[in-house]
Amino acid sequence: MEYIVYILFSEKHNKTYVGFTSSLIERFKSHNELATKGYTIKYRPWMVLHIEVYQSKNEAIIREKWFKSGVGRDYISKLKK
């Protein structure tokens, strides 16, 4: 199974969101349409800014945590430009 680390961007609100999933299309639909509570519903619409594919869940979790660190947030801010 593949795991995808993704970064979403809300241009309207200038917000980013980092997560991981094994099904990007379903997860993206949840963030943009289906979910009724949580952080992401407040900042819709979202677009996919960046994705990375990993072969193990552990690798994906490590990378997701890196994106949420200070260095990772700096990396994300450069992607938005």
Please tell me the pTM assigned to this model: 0.95
Q: Per the structure, how many domains does the chain have?
A: 1
The CATH code of the domain that includes 72 is 3.40.1440.10
Beta-strand ranges (E) seen in the chain are 3-10, 15-21, 47-54
Print the domain residue range for 59: 3-79
How many CB atoms are located within 10 Å of the residue 67 CB?
Answer: 20
How many CB atoms are located within 10 Å of the residue 75 CB?
Answer: 14
pLDDT digits (tens, 9 = 90+) for 33-75: 999 999 999 999 999 999 999 999 999 999 999 999 999 999 9
For 4, 7, 56, the CA distances from 1, given in Å and listed in that order, are 10, 20, 7
Give the mean pLDDT of 22-32: 96
Residue 6 has pLDDT above 90, yes or no: yes
